[in-house]
């Protein structure tokens, strides 16, 4: 049995939210699908927290370009 890998979950969530990957391509991959949200439901106000978790993670890992992309997307989706 595989252990939960937070880094894979964070990266896959980022890739899907930003359009870098699709759910289908993740399903076809060998890592499985690990997301911080349910992709079968439309985004809601609650999903703002998903963006906040990702931004906080990328600040801690000093990946500021990813932070900015998420902040910009969050403004558009939840304005």
Tell me if 70 is assigned to some domain: yes
Q: Is residue 1 part of a domain?
A: no
**Which has the closest alpha carbon to 12: 25, 41, 46?**
25
Long-range contacts of 42-45 (CB under 8 A, 24+ apart): 43/77, 45/78
Number of domains the chain contains: 1
- Give the percent of the chain with pLDDT over 90: 61
Q: Which domain holds residue 45?
A: 6-77
> At how many degrees (to 10) do helices 64-77 and 48-60 cross?
170
Asked, for residue 35, whether it belongs to a domain, the answer is yes
pLDDT level of residue 1 (50, 70, 90 thresholds): very low
Please report whether residue 34 resides in a domain: yes
State pTM to two decimals: 0.86
Q: Has residue 79 got a pLDDT over 90?
A: no
**23-42 residue pLDDT tens:** 899 989 888 888 998 888 87
- On whether residue 37 sits in a domain, the answer given is yes
């Amino acid at each position: 049995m595989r252990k939960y890998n937070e880094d894979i979950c964070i990266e896959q969530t980022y890739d899907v939210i930003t359009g870098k990957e699709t759910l289908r391509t993740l399903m076809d991959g060998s890592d499985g699908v690990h997301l911080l949200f349910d992709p079968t439901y439309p985004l809601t106000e609650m999903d703002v927290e998903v963006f906040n978790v990702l931004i906080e993670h990328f600040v801690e890992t000093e990946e500021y370009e990813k932070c900015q992309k998420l902040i910009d997307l969050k403004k558009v989706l939840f304005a």
